[in-house]
Amino acid sequence: MAELTKKERVAIPAQQMPERPGNERNKDFKEVNLGLSQEQAVLEASRCLQCKNPPCVSDCPVSVNIPEFIRLISERKFIEAALLIRRDNSLPAITGRVCPQEKQCQSRCLRGKIDSSVAIGWLERFAADYLAAAQAAGEVSAETMAAKSDAIKVAVVGSGPAGLACAGELARMGYAVTVFEAFHKAGGVLVYGIPEFRLPNDIVEREVQQLKSNGVVFETNVIVGRTVKIHELMEEEHFKAVFIANGAGLPSFMGITGENLKGVYSANEYLTRSNLMGAFDRNSDTPITAGKKVCVVGGGNTAMDAVRTSIRLGSEQSHLVYRRDLAQMPARIEEVHHAEQEGVIFDLLTSPIEILADENGWVSGIKCVKMQLKEADASGRQGVTQIPNSEFIIECDQVIMAIGIKANPLLTAATPELNLNAKGYIQTDATGMTSIPGVFAGGDIVRGAATVILAMGDGKKTAESMNNWLSANA
């Protein structure tokens, strides 16, 4: 096909992601977005202006070669496109679904100055799913490799995106990699935090299986710091280097009266019980009492996941209580739209000051105050302040706190040689190495709560540093 002129590209309208209707999908956990068709993907890719100095690439934390993979899709070279993405991003089916694209690669896309940005994330997902389907059908052989019997042993602690990316890179370099995971299932937040209606577990499982085919060994139900200590891994089990990627899984609370009442959950517990422990099944060992009227406090992705899960678990009314306004909400824009379509009630500029109880100690409501935005500070962010005498009560029988997470101190407390910052996160040098020689760290346990792609980027970059360090020291 002849090269399109700029005029022809500009005339192509933005494609819409096919999705299941809100009133159908809010009753189950199946994926909301259905994926672009081949025709849609080619049209969307043809909207790209193929910029000479593409700002989209500099806004992607792992610098995916965006114009080139999009050009390949526009030429129907779908497998080549996916393989090109994988050079920089080992988990494209995942990032294509969960990256905050509107704040990253798509934020300064030059097509956005004409009408709307190219849907880079949707195209990334399309190419990755196409490659996976071709591999499953045996049309393309999946990569397999095994570590040599004399390969140097390296340990990875935690199987979230940072751990998976690091393990993949190290295996590719020929190391014998073992990933130690505290849960019974690998994937970190990708499986226990993000619900299946956004990221189906089998997609994460596919990546874990691929790593296993490449020789990575997964040891689940191992809590490093308790089951085994870092120095035991190195001195007794002969791992020559360790990458710590245990995330930041400790929930935060507001410190208001009533947070210990029956019917109050942290989003972390609520989502883990739903996603990983089958709590939606009444016969499971760990069911959740479905709230009739649920209030989720927070405005990030975790809050959005919890409130949309509560609807699927059968609530009659689900509220999202957030102290700022919609424009300042940190959640991905797509999730906010989906939550609105599914019937979530947004109580914005509202902050809880007390959780109220009935005579049996169960939640009966939350007392809130209305907030107002202040002038923007030097960083451009607007603070909020309470409106005097604005107290009111939202009646509810369940409250889910989703106001942030902190570093889990279990591993670090058991490893006192690790230098931590004031908030308990692990300190590393520019190469990712901690205060213990040969022990590296990355992802949320170093950055604080961040994103999947930043965690993956840390895993990939630190694998290179580990390789350099091992070449000189092992």
Q: Give yes or no for residue 444 binding ligand FAD (CB under 6 A).
A: yes
* Comparison of 247 and 352: residue with beta carbon closer to ligand FAD: 247
Residue selected from 32, 41, 42, 60 as contacting ligand SF4 according to rule CB under 6 A = 60
In the numeric block, the tokens 């500070």 are attached to 377
State the helix-helix crossing angle for 38-46 and 66-74, rounded to 10 degrees.
130
Which part of the chain contacts ligand SF4 (CB under 6 A), choosing from 101-109, 199-207, 346-354, 391-399? 101-109
Q: Does 210 bind ligand SF4 (CB under 6 A)?
A: no
Strand stretches in 343-455, DSSP E: 345-347, 350-357, 363-376, 382-386, 392-395, 398-401, 405-406, 439-441
Residues in CB range of 79: below 8 A, 6 or more apart? 130, 131, 134, 140
| ∠ CA 421-424-426, rounded to 5° | 65
- Binding-site member from 99, 147, 307, 344 for ligand SF4 (CB under 6 A): 99
For strand 293-297 and strand 398-401, is the pairing parallel, antiparallel, or unpaired?
A: parallel
Sketch the per residue contact string, 91 through 120, with ligand FAD: x for CB under 6 A, - otherwise: -------xxx--------------------
State how far the Cα of 319 lies from the Cα of 393, in Å rounded to an integer.
Answer: 13
**Segment near ligand FAD (CB under 6 A), from 23-31, 153-161, 278-286, 423-431?**
153-161
Among 61, 92, 225, 263, binds ligand FAD (CB under 6 A): 225
416 to 455, contacts with ligand SF4 by CB under 6 A?
Answer: 453
Tokens of residue 16, six digits: 């819409």
Q: How many residues bind ligand SF4 (CB under 6 A)?
A: 27
The partner in contact with residue 247, picked from ligand SF4, ligand FAD, none with C-beta cut-offs of 5 to 8 angstroms by kind, is ligand FAD
Question: Rg of the Cα trace of the chain?
Answer: 23
- ∠ at Cα 395 (391, 396), nearest 5°? 130
Q: Binding of ligand FAD at residue 224 (CB under 6 A)?
A: yes
Residue 60 touches ligand FAD, criterion: CB under 6 A: no
Distance of CA 232 to the CA centre of its chain: 31
- Which range, of 83-91, 103-111, 157-165, 291-299, touches ligand FAD by CB under 6 A? 157-165
Q: Which stretch binds ligand FAD (CB under 6 A): 50-58, 80-88, 115-123, 246-254?
A: 246-254
For helices 201-213 and 161-172, angle between their N-to-C axes, nearest 10 degrees = 20
Query: Segment 322-381, which members bind ligand SF4 (CB under 6 A)?
Result: none
Q: How far apart are CA 91 and CA 187, in angstroms?
A: 12
Q: Does 246 bind ligand FAD (CB under 6 A)?
A: yes
Query: From the list ligand FAD, ligand SF4, none, which binds 432 (C-beta under 5 to 8 Å, kind-based)?
Result: none
Q: Does 458 bind ligand SF4 (CB under 6 A)?
A: no
What CA–CA distance (Å, rounded) separates 437 from 469?
9
Nearer to ligand FAD, 68 or 102 (CB): 102
Q: Point out which span in 298-306, 308-316, 371-379, 433-441 binds ligand FAD (CB under 6 A).
A: 298-306
Binder of residue 109, out of ligand FAD, ligand SF4, none (CB less than 5 to 8 A by kind) = ligand SF4
| 450 in contact with ligand FAD (CB under 6 A) | yes
Mapped onto helix, strand or coil, the DSSP state of residue 158 is coil
Q: Any residues with CB less than 8 A from the CB of 399 and at least 6 apart, and which?
A: 261, 263, 264, 265, 294, 295, 296, 297, 352, 355, 363, 366
Q: Which does 307 bind (CB under 5 to 8 A by kind): ligand SF4, ligand FAD, none?
A: none
Return left, alpha or beta for 303; rule: phi > 0 is left, psi -120 to 50 is alpha, else beta.
alpha
Give the Cβ contact number of residue 33 at 10 Å: 18
Among 17, 110, 142, 223, binds ligand FAD (CB under 6 A): 223
- In 3D, which of 100, 98, 140, 115 has the Cα closest to residue 49? 115
Specify the pairing of strand 382-386 against strand 398-401: unpaired
Binding residue (CB under 6 A) for ligand SF4 from 26, 121, 277, 336: 121
Q: Is the CB of 110 or the CB of 222 nearer to ligand FAD?
A: 222
- Residues numbered 79 to 98 that lie near ligand SF4 (CB under 6 A) are 89, 95-96
Dist. CA 458–CA 162, nearest whole Å:
6
Q: Which option in ligand FAD, ligand SF4, none does residue 129 bind, with CB closer than 5 to 8 A by kind?
A: none
Give, in order, the Cα–Cα distances in Å from 460 to each of 167, 322, 397: 8, 35, 44
Query: How do strand 350-357 and strand 363-376 relate by DSSP bridges?
Result: antiparallel
Is 110 a binding residue for ligand SF4 by CB under 6 A? The answer is yes
Q: Please report whether residue 194 would count as binding ligand FAD according to CB under 6 A.
A: yes
Residues that bind ligand SF4 (CB under 6 A): 48-51, 54-56, 60, 62, 64, 66-67, 89, 95-96, 99, 101, 104-105, 109-111, 118, 120-121, 124, 453
Residues that bind ligand FAD (CB under 6 A): 98-100, 157-163, 180-183, 188-189, 193-194, 223-225, 245-247, 249, 271, 301-302, 305, 332, 408, 410-411, 443-444, 449-453, 455
